[in-house]
Each structure stands twice: as structure tokens, then as C-alpha cells.
């Protein structure tokens, strides 16, 4: 008899803008951003058992199990579960690695939030977010499950509601190193802070975009191509970029025109994560 696998969504996100305001003494960057949750992403499957062990069923090529954020998240939650609590984790990857749309961070958050219920850990979202922050700066946004403004290193979150637009997300066949971007002396680090109450997409930008365009001509070309159809911008540190549409049919039309050298998908921007809906968790 096949083992029971419970599947839960691991949604993508976009940084609708990304301003670098400065740098902390520890080297981390002080930023402001708007994290937009999408209705598409990866899926994580859970086989719960009493082995006390954690195992990943499908290994990601080039990523040792101990370095996989999914494995790290389960290990981080294990001290809050019973000694016999174990699981076998499955990963259906759809999101590009190194795309800046939250794949690994979202996967880790799905493991934390779902296993918290499946292992009966009874931790609150704030507690889970603190655990998640040790795994990556973007993990807390997925733990809380709201589209939100972010400050600090991305962990200070203010839930917000945005108009539910449609996004064409496209990715070149490259991977951009976040570490290389944030370590670059050419990265702007002095953008003045904005008041979130006055946020307007057209009056914001992504401080990483020009640097990535200069380093990767594929990103520059894709942005030049997309902007002919709709307002477009890079998300996070790339390599993925997005275009904003009011109607799904318009986004689908441009997706059909996308050059074959780029991967793309159309998703709806939502204010609450599909993961939390699936688990019956109310978000603030």
C-alpha cells in the first residue's frame, strides 16, 4: 500500500520594488520592499512517520541534502516535535532556482508551517518566522503568508492589500548569485526611505536591476523586450523579471510571444498565501 502524501503549495513571490537604504555594521543590507504573493509556485509533499528521521525523496541535482533549505527547515523544527516525529519530504519544483522569486525560501516556509501542524508543534507564526529568519531573510514573508511591505533585512513586515493584478514572470537560462550582487561595490546603497502610505509602483524601482543588467545581457534584453508590452521590472536580485497586466488574457497573449530562450508563466497576485488557506490558518 502506497504511503499517504499530503501536498501543500509553496507559492512564488515578487519584489514589486527593492530599495537599498544602507548597510548594517554586520554587513547585511537595510532595505525596503513590497513582497507580492502569487497564486503559483512549487508543491511540497509530506509523508509523516514515527521514524524520528527526516529524508528528502527527490534530491535536487547539485544540492546536497544537508544544504537543501527544505531539509534545514525540518531539522530546525524538530526540537519542537516529539522524539519519534519523522517525515519523508517530496518536492515538485516549478520555480526556477536563482530567479529571485522565492523558490527555496518559500519551500522552507511551507515545511515550517505545514510540519508545525502535522507534527503538532503548536508554534505561532511569529515563532516560526524567527526560526525561518535563521534560514534566510525571505522565509518570514512566506511564513506569515501575506503580501506585505518589508524593512530591515526583509524581516520587518507590514501586511497590506494590493490590487490583484496579473503578472507575466519570465526567466533567462541563467542563475544570478544574490551574494555576488549584494557584495558588489557598484550596488547603490543610499536610496532614501519611502513612506509606505504613499507607495506607487511608478515612483519606485529595483536598486539591483541596473547592476544585474550590466552583468547579464540576457536580463537586459528580456526587460527591453517586455517593456514594449507592459510596465516591467526585475524581481529581487534576479534573474527573473515580471510585467504587470490588468487582465489575464493580455498576460497570456504576451506569454505566447515570449522568445523560446526564456521560460515564463502567468500568475495572479494575491494578498494571502494559498498555503495558509489550505491549512486553515488565518493571516493578519
Q: 97 in helix, strand or coil?
A: coil
Beta-strand ranges (E) seen in 116-182 are 148-151, 156-159, 166-171
Q: CA–CA separation, 19 vs 197, rounded Å?
A: 16
C-alpha cell at 43: 508543491
Q: CA–CA separation, 20 vs 190, rounded Å?
A: 6
C-alpha cell at 272: 494571502
Nearest to 154 by CA among 68, 44, 237, 91: 237
SS3 content of the chain, % helix, strand, coil (to 5): 30, 30, 40
Q: 21 in helix, strand or coil?
A: strand
On whether the CB atoms of residues 239 and 108 are closer than 8 A, the answer is no
Q: CA–CA separation, 17 vs 234, rounded Å?
A: 8
Q: 95 in helix, strand or coil?
A: coil
DSSP assignment letter at 103: H
Q: Which of 72, 78, 138, 165 is catalytic?
A: 138
Output the CA–CA distances (angstroms, integers) from residue 260 to 153, 169, 229, 250, in the order listed: 35, 14, 17, 19
Nearest to 43 by CA among 70, 8, 77: 8
- Strands 232-234, 148-151: pairing is unpaired
Task: Return the residue matching grid coordinates 519584489.
Answer: 15
**Residue 138 catalytic?**
yes
Q: Which of 13, 40, 72, 165 is catalytic?
A: 13
**Residue 13 catalytic?**
yes
Active-site residue set: 13, 138
Amino acid at each position: 500500500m502506497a504511503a499517504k502524501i499530503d501536498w501543500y503549495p509553496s507559492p512564488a513571490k515578487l519584489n514589486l520594488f527593492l530599495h537599498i537604504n544602507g548597510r548594517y555594521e554586520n554587513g547585511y543590507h537595510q532595505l525596503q520592499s513590497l513582497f507580492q504573493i502569487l497564486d503559483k509556485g512549487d508543491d511540497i509533499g509530506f509523508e509523516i512517520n514515527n521514524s524520528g528521521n527526516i529524508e528528502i525523496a527527490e534530491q535536487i541535482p547539485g544540492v546536497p541534502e544537508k544544504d537543501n533549505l527544505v531539509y534545514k527547515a525540518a531539522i530546525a523544527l524538530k526540537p519542537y516535535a516529539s522524539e519519534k516525529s519523522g517525515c519523508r519530504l517530496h518536492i515538485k519544483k516549478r520555480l526556477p532556482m536563482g530567479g529571485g522569486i522565492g523558490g527555496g525560501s518559500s519551500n522552507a516556509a511551507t515545511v515550517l508551517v505545514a510540519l508545525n501542524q502535522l507534527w503538532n508543534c503548536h508554534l505561532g507564526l511569529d515563532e516560526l518566522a524567527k526560526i525561518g529568519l535563521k534560514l534566510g531573510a525571505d522565509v518570514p514573508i512566506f511564513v506569515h503568508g501575506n503580501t506585505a511591505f518589508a524593512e530591515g533585512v526583509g524581516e520587518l513586515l507590514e501586511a497590506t492589500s494590493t490590487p490583484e493584478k496579473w503578472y507575466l514572470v519570465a526567466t533567462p537560462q541563467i542563475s544570478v548569485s544574490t551574494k555576488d550582487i549584494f557584495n558588489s561595490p557598484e550596488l547603490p546603497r543610499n536610496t532614501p526611505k519611502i513612506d509606505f502610505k504613499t507607495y506607487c509602483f511608478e515612483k519606485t524601482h529595483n536598486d539591483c536591476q541596473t547592476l544585474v543588467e550590466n552583468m547579464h545581457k540576457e536580463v537586459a534584453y528580456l526587460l527591453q523586450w517586455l517593456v514594449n508590452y507592459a510596465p516591467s521590472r526585475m524581481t529581487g536580485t534576479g534573474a527573473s523579471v515580471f510585467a504587470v497586466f490588468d487582465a489575464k488574457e493580455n498576460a497570456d497573449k504576451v506569454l505566447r510571444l515570449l522568445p523560446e530562450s526564456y521560460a515564463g508563466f502567468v500568475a495572479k497576485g494575491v494578498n494571502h498565501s494559498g498555503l495558509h488557506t489550505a491549512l486553515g490558518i488565518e493571516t493578519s
